[in-house]
Amino acid sequence: MSGDASVMELAQPFAMSQPAISKHLKVLERAGLISRGRDAQRRPCRLEARPLAEATGWLEGYRRFWEGTFQRLDAVLEELKAREKPVATRRRRRKK
């Protein structure tokens, strides 16, 4: 969907009531992530790109941080596995 959308259009793909969708939209509007206009009986909603871009940038920094952290953890775990293998092999040889 592109451009403005009504509450009913936004609610259609979700298993939520129209009042529940309206509550979520009010939160997004207060946060500045959407704006609502007036068109007779319709109150079309529009995404606000700038605050969404700012949020995306902020989240991207955390994504890079956690991705790097998990990569370092993977490296440490691989190193520990490599150290364990020779010890396990020696133990098996002694039992024979």
pLDDT digits (tens, 9 = 90+) for 58-86: 999 999 999 999 999 999 999 999 988 77
Distance CA 41, CA 87 (A): 75
Collapsing DSSP to helix, strand or coil, 42 comes out as strand
**Cβ(1)–Cβ(9) below 8 Å:** yes
Distance CA 78, CA 84 (A): 10
Distance CA 58, CA 49 (A): 14
Distance CA 31, CA 51 (A): 9
Give residue limits of the domains in the chain: 1-47, 49-96
Given this model, what pLDDT does residue 58 score?
Answer: 93
Give me the CATH code for the 1-47 domain, please.
1.10.10.10
Distance CA 35, CA 47 (A): 7
Average pLDDT of the segment spanning 33-47: 82
The pTM for the full model equals 0.55
